[in-house]
């Protein structure tokens, strides 16, 4: 048995029907894959170079669009790094999870899937499903970014508009009970097999010199990215490839910060934020997220709307066009006084968000 429920202790095998526990709680990977540097397929410039270290259904054939192996570039101050996750094929790290999940679904011969998403997860799934010949339904809050909706449409997904994120999460379950497979970025265990490769890449890109002196800044909504990175680092530590776990610093928008509120024991109102990718009021894996942050002696930082907007401009000033959710790590790092030995994940591309406050004024003659 490879999956465990922290809530009731039941264990489950990795099979197509086991995407959550029978008690309703999310599952967690119970056993770690050993990490073997000599098993890296060094000529493969995608996350599939680590295929031997991924848990996959038998006879899985990668559904790949070249995701992963994103660049690591120095911050202007040189002592820290940006990881350019917005350079993935559809413009966000969600491509990592989508690639591995679609690979699994192909092996399980699934032909029709549904997902609820505020944007990037839906875009990534639409693209990978299209390329793999799988029919795809996405439940989207009606105020999701225009750019993300048009990308999903172009990739051939059927869009079902819902009044908000919560309603999308509820309505997708109706589709799932009628027999469509739930390709959830938040619930499906295979997704984390994709996002864990961020940890592998960071270690490889830093010549395996990562340890607890380093902090990795990660925007957190549902925690698929943070928990994947945590899993990857656990495997690297257990295999004695790196000495200790880097600190995981979760970043939230202050306007919607349930993890920040839980860790600091605060009661905070939950409202709208421009960082739509982390606008998650009730992350199903919140207990796992808090445990991962605490275990690595990390932290959680909440940033204001104006700090996020400034960060978009400051990143653009460095030539990096990153969406508001994706620059929250820069805002958080600044807020903490730019500590050295930090790695900031820039998670989503700017071209998909068309918020009016970010639009460019058109001046006649230009
Ligand atoms: C989804 C998303 C996040 C948050 O990821 P979670 O795995 O939900 O915590 C961060 N940044 C961007 C750009 C996203 O699309
Ligand atoms: Zn359970």
348 lines ligand 1 (CB under 6 A): yes
Residue given tokens 């890296």 in the structure block: 40
Separation of 364 CA from ligand 1 center, angstroms? 37
CB 279 within 8 A of CB 310: no
Q: Which residues pair with 330 in a beta bridge?
A: none
Shortest-distance atom of ligand 1 to CA 218: 10
172 lines ligand 1 (CB under 6 A): no
How far, CA to CA in Å, does 311 sit from each of 6, 244, 308, 343, 346?
A: 37, 31, 5, 16, 11
Two structure tokens written together for 270: 């939950």
How far, CA to CA in Å, does 364 sit from each of 208, 358, 361?
A: 53, 19, 10
How open is the CA angle 261-264-267, to the nearest 5 degrees? 40
pLDDT tens digits for 164-190?
888 998 999 999 999 999 999 999 999
- Ramachandran category for residue 317: left, alpha or beta (phi over 0 → left; psi -120 to 50 → alpha): alpha
pLDDT of residue 275: 93
pLDDT of residue 187: 96
**Nearest by Cα to 106 from 65, 137, 62, 69:** 62
Instruction: Please return the burial class of 21, using the count of CB atoms within 10 Å of its CB with bins 0-12, 13-18 and 19+.
Output: buried
Number of Cβ atoms within 10 Å of the Cβ of 166: 14
Shortest-distance atom of ligand 1 to CA 119: 15
How far, CA to CA in Å, does 259 sit from each of 102, 158, 340?
A: 29, 32, 24
120 lines ligand 1 (CB under 6 A): yes
Shortest-distance atom of ligand 1 to CA 223: 9
Write the residue with the smallest CA distance to atom 3 of ligand 1: 277
Question: Which residue out of 115, 221, 322 has the highest number of ligand 1 atoms within 8 Å of its CB and is therefore the one to mutate?
Answer: 221
N-terminal to C-terminal alpha carbon distance within the chain:
63
pLDDT of residue 212: 98
Two structure tokens written together for 264: 């600091």
- The full DSSP string for 154-215 is HTTPEEEEESSHHHHHHHHHHHHHTT-EE--TTT-HHHHHHHTHHHHHHHHHTTT---TT-E
pLDDT of residue 359: 47
Give the C-alpha separation, 290 to 19, whole Å.
21
97 lines ligand 1 (CB under 6 A): no
Residue given tokens 């050295």 in the structure block: 340
Number of Cβ atoms within 10 Å of the Cβ of 120: 33
Q: Which residues pair with 301 in a beta bridge?
A: 251
Dmax over CA atoms of the chain, in Å, equals: 67
Q: Which residues pair with 302 in a beta bridge?
A: 252
Two structure tokens written together for 106: 């192909």
Rounded to 10 degrees, the C-alpha dihedral 107/223/140/272 comes to 180
**Nearest by Cα to 138 from 163, 113, 167:** 113
Give the C-alpha separation, 322 to 328, whole Å.
10
Give the C-alpha separation, 258 to 264, whole Å.
10
**Nearest by Cα to 217 from 296, 150, 316, 151:** 296
60 lines ligand 1 (CB under 6 A): no
**Nearest by Cα to 216 from 125, 162, 144, 293:** 293
26 lines ligand 1 (CB under 6 A): no
pLDDT tens digits for 19-39?
999 999 999 999 999 999 999
Write the residue with the smallest CA distance to atom 14 of ligand 1: 277
In this prediction, the residues of the chain whose per-residue pLDDT falls under 50 are 356-360, 366
Give the C-alpha separation, 230 to 362, whole Å.
44
Going along the chain from its start, the domains and CATH numbers come out as 47-91+190-351 (3.40.50.1100)
């Amino acid at each position: 048995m490879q999956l465990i429920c922290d809530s009731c202790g039941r264990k489950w095998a990795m099979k197509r029907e086991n995407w959550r526990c029978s008690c309703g709680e999310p599952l967690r990977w119970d056993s770690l894959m050993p990490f073997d540097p000599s098993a890296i397929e060094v000529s493969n410039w995608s996350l599939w170079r680590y295929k031997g270290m991924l848990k996959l259904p038998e006879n899985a054939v990668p559904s790949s669009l070249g995701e992963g192996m994103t660049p690591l570039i120095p911050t202007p101050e040189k002592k820290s790094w940006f990881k350019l996750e917005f350079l993935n094929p559809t413009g966000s790290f969600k491509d990592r999870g989508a690639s591995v999940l679609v690979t699994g679904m192909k092996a399980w011969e699934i032909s029709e899937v549904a997902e609820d998403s505020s944007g990037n997860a839906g875009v990534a799934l639409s693209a990978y499903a299209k390329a793999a010949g799988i029919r795809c339904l996405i439940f989207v809050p009606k105020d999701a970014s225009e750019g993300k909706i048009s990308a999903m449409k172009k990739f051939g997904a059927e869009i079902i508009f819902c009044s908000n994120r919560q309603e999308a999460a509820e309505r997708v379950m109706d589709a799932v009970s009628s027999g469509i497979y739930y390709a959830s970025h938040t619930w499906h265990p295979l997704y984390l097999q994709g996002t864990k490769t961020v940890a592998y890449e960071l270690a490889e890109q830093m010549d395996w010199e990562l340890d607890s002196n380093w902090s990795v800044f990660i925007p957190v909504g549902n925690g698929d990215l943070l928990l994947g990175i945590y899993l990857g680092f656990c495997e690297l530590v257990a295999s004695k490839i790196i000495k200790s776990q880097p600190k995981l610093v979760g970043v939230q928008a202050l306007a919607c910060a349930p993890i920040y509120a839980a860790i600091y024991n605060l009661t905070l109102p939950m409202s709208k934020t421009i960082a739509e990718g982390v606008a998650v009021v009730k992350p199903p894996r919140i207990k796992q997220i808090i445990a991962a942050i605490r275990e690595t002696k990390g932290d959680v930082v909440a940033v204001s709307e104006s700090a996020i907007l400034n960060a978009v401009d400051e990143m653009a000033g460095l030539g990096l066009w990153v969406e508001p959710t994706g620059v929250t790590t820069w805002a958080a790092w600044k807020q903490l006084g730019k500590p050295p030995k930090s790695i900031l994940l820039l998670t989503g591309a700017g071209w998909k968000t068309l918020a009016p406050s970010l639009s460019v004024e058109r001046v006649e003659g230009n």
